[in-house]
Structures are given as C-alpha cells and as structure tokens.
C-alpha cells in the first residue's frame, strides 16, 4: 500500500490529470442526461427496473452476478492495460477515462432524475456506487501507469523492462480490485434489494 501512495505522490500531476478528465466526463454525462427525451427516459426506467428484477431473480444464483460483473469490469481494465502498453496510450487512455466518467455521470444523473433522490440513491448504491468505490481508484492508478509507460517508451532513457513489470503489477492489483468489487455486487449489494 505504501508503494501505491509513493507512486501516486511521484506522478501526482499525471494522476490528477486522469482524475480531472474523468470528472469532466462526469459533468458531460450529467449535462447530456438532461437532454434525454421522455421516451428515452421511459426506456431507461424500464431497463433499470429490469436490471433490479434480474438481481432479485439471481439472489439465489450469486455466481452468475459475479461472473457478469467481473467480465464487464475486466473488459474495461484489460483495454486500459493494453492501451497503456502502446504508443497511443497518452491520447486513448484519456479518452477512456472521459468515456468512463461520461457513463457514470449519465447514469447517476438519469437515475436520480427518473426515480427521485431517495429511490434513485437506493438504485445507485446497488448498481453503481459500492463497486466503483473500489474500482475507480485502481483504474486511475492503471491509467496513470499506462501514461507513464507510454512516456518512458517515447523517451527511451530508462530500463523499459522495469516500467513494463510495474505496469503489469498494477494491472494485477486492478484484477484484484475487480474481484473484490464483483464480490461486493454479487454477495452484498443484493442484500439491499
């Protein structure tokens, strides 16, 4: 844990840049959600109600929820990790963070707008907040690592093997965060329904 905090401190400018891009995505998602038509809101409301119903149906089969959540989150982590190993990481990782922020901002805004504050927070807590408290900091760390690896590849001044190993270790930490997050959704979030 100490190494992670030292890494964040060392590369705080990159880390802060990733977080700022994510926050910009949150605001863009929230703004766009206000432009959603009534028909689209009804479709989203039905989709969320169906998702909650599916969670209630899966209460007895928590393994399916775990696998579904794990697969969904791992796709994003894997794409971020792979892009961090490429020469286009600087641009694409920022786009990914903007996209992730947009999705979360849009979902939060539309759910609160459709269901109201009380019921909206209940749904958000079940579907979004509990899992993302763990995943987002690790995703920011992985994005920062990818951008740093990209910069080291461009400079060619340091030992690139060390940078790749560091990026892989952070990737494995993110996999651990996804496992914990998926467990929370599968085994604990269902209890709040």
Q: How confident is the model at residue 95 (pLDDT cuts 50, 70, 90)?
A: very high
Tokens of 185: 């959704």
What's the whole-model pTM score?
A: 0.84
Taking each helix axis from N to C end, the angle separating 89-115 and 117-124, rounded to the nearest 10 degrees, works out to 140
Residue 87 class from Cβ within 10 Å (0-12 exposed, 13-18 middle, 19+ buried)? exposed
Given the structure tokens 């705080």, which residue do they identify?
12
What local confidence, expressed as pLDDT, does residue 26 receive?
Answer: 93
| Per-residue pLDDT tens over the stretch 107-131 | 888 888 887 888 888 777 767 777 7
Q: How confident is the model at residue 99 (pLDDT cuts 50, 70, 90)?
A: very high
In this prediction, residue 43 has a pLDDT band, given cuts at 50, 70 and 90, of confident
pLDDT at 193 over 60: no
Residue extents of the structural domains in the chain: 2-34+63-192
Q: Give the burial string for 61-76 (b: 16+ CB within 10 Å, else e).
A: ebeebbeebbeebbeb
């Amino acid at each position: 844990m100490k190494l992670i905090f030292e890494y964040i401190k060392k590369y705080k400018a990159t880390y802060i840049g990733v977080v700022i891009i994510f926050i910009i995505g949150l605001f863009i998602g929230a703004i766009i959600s206000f432009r959603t038509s009534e028909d689209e809101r009804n479709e989203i409301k039905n989709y969320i109600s169906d998702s909650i119903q599916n969670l209630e149906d899966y209460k007895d089969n928590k393994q399916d929820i775990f696998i579904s959540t794990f697969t969904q989150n791992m796709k994003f982590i894997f794409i971020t990790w792979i892009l961090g190993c490429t020469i286009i990481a600087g641009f694409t990782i920022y786009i990914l963070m903007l996209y992730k922020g947009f999705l979360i901002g849009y979902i939060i805004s539309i759910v609160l707008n459709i269901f109201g504050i009380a019921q909206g927070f209940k749904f958000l807590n079940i579907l979004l907040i509990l899992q993302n408290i763990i995943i987002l900091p690790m995703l920011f760390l992985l994005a920062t690592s990818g951008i740093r690896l990209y910069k080291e590849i461009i400079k060619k001044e340091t030992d690139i093997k060390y940078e790749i190993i560091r990026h892989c270790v952070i990737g494995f930490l993110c996999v651990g965060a996804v496992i914990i997050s998926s467990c929370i959704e599968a085994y604990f979030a269902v209890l709040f329904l």
